[in-house]
Amino acid sequence: MILQLQPAITSSEKQSIVGTLARLGFKSNEVTTQRAHYLVGIGKKEIDIRQLGNLPGIQDIHHVSDEYKLVSRKWKIAHSVIDLGDGVIIGDGSLSIMAGPCSIETEAQVDATIDHLLKSGIRIMRGGVFKPRSSPYAFRGLGIEGLKMWHTKARAAGIKIVSEVMQVSQIADMYDYVDIFQVGARNTQNFNLLDELGKVDKAVMIKRGISGTIEELLSSAEYVFSGGNEKLMLCERGIRTYERASRNTMDINAIPILKEKSHLPVVADPSHGIGIRDFVEPVALAALVAGADGIIYETHQRPEEAFSDGQQTLDFVESATLIKKLKKLEEVVRQF
């Protein structure tokens, strides 16, 4: 059960509500986000919502049967919108394109990528400076200094930054230099990290786990939201199946299902979703048509020389073509 509280609620009004909830068998979780103030009531009993209706301080009451509550569309039917500032908005019905290399490698690479994005009218750049690698001997990213360099250039160009945060201690270091904290597929259920990102006033994009269910992705988002951060989006990036012809199996079904179950924006990552450069384009187009609010993909001036993920990275010519097709399709889809 979600109780949206009135901004001017008094402490004694709140106590009275919490007490009533307790008598009805519900544990109260107080949540204050950038946008509103909630009590999330957790309990198993079926109650008549009207038993709470008269209590002062309550703005709205919603019964939510899902295990996740605040991210559910059962209480908030309108789709959430995330404003990154400077006119960069995610989830408002337009398509958000996010592109860039797997890893930030060099100043020249950043310059070239920004130049490419500007030419194509793209406002959000992706890139990793902390890289989760299955082998301890692999390249692990440029770290915070790389991020600072990138940030300076991106800011100058009016470009927003989305980059992966791998652990709690990096949040503070990265805070001033990213616009969207990305939680990677290996950290979808790193609950401590999610807890801490709930305390931050910065957008967060949670990738679905390598073999995570849709339900688990939403529960992970609930961690961040219930921690106090509503600036949240979800990302479908393919799941692990028995099929070996592609790196992952892009779960195209997840896009309409997530849009139905949650009010949060849904981004699709076709690069990881299929893992094969030649087929990133059709999968990206399919994801848009299936209802994605954003597309995030890997591009590099010379994919064959990329430090990581070169096999699934578009060059700038392919990237420009993809952007053109995405925009063309977006026009048609918007009329549906």
Residues 93-152 that bind a second copy (CB under 8 A): 132-137
Q: Is 186 an interacting residue with respect to a second copy (CB under 8 A)?
A: yes
- Binding residue for a second copy (CB under 8 A) from 111, 278, 304, 305? 278
Residue 323 in the binding site for a second copy (CB under 8 A): no
- Packing angle, helices 254-261 and 214-227, rounded to 10: 40
- Give the number of other Cβ atoms within 10 Å of residue 129's Cβ: 27
Q: Which residues contact 157 (CB under 8 A, 6 or more apart)?
A: 114, 117, 118
User: What angle do the packed helices 168-175 and 143-157 form, to 10 degrees?
Assistant: 40
Q: Which is nearer to a second copy, 1 or 58 (CB)?
A: 1
Kindly give, in sequence order, each residue whose CB lies less than 8 Å from that of residue 19, ignoring residues fewer than 6 positions away.
none
18 binds a second copy, rule: CB under 8 A: no
Nearest distance, CB of residue 250 and a second copy, angstroms: 5
Comparing CB distances to a second copy, the nearer of 131 and 231 is: 131
Q: For a second copy, which residue of 8, 78, 156, 332 counts as binding (CB under 8 A)?
A: 332
- The residue within the footprint of a second copy, chosen from 100, 209, 294, 303 (CB under 8 A), is 209
Q: Return the residue of 122, 266, 283, 306 that touches a second copy, per CB under 8 A.
A: 283
- x-or-dash string of contact with a second copy, 286-305, rule CB under 8 A: xxxxxx--------------
Of the candidates 93, 158, 167, 317, which one interacts with a second copy according to CB under 8 A?
A: 167
Binding of a second copy at residue 55 (CB under 8 A)?
no
**β-sheet bridge partners, residue 206:** 183, 234
Binders of a second copy in range 215-254 (CB under 8 A)? 215-216, 219-220, 222-223, 226-227, 239-246, 249-254
Confirm or reject binding of residue 45 to a second copy (CB under 8 A).
no
42 lines the binding site for a second copy (CB under 8 A): yes
Q: Which of 166, 204, 233, 306 binds a second copy (CB under 8 A)?
A: 166
State yes or no: residue 334 binds a second copy (CB under 8 A): no
Phi/psi of residue 294, each to 5°? -150, 160
| 166 versus 233: smaller Cβ distance to a second copy | 166
Question: In the numeric block, which tokens belong to residue 293?
Answer: 């609010």
Based on the number of CB atoms within 10 Å of its own CB, is 182 exposed (0-12), middle (13-18) or buried (19 or more)? buried
Provide φ and ψ at 281, rounded to 5°.
-60, -55
- The residue among 42 and 118 lying less far from a second copy, judged by its C-beta, is 42
Residues 6+ apart with CB under 8 A from 294: 90, 95, 96, 97, 98, 233, 265, 266, 267, 268
Q: How far apart are CA 51 and CA 93, in angstroms?
A: 38
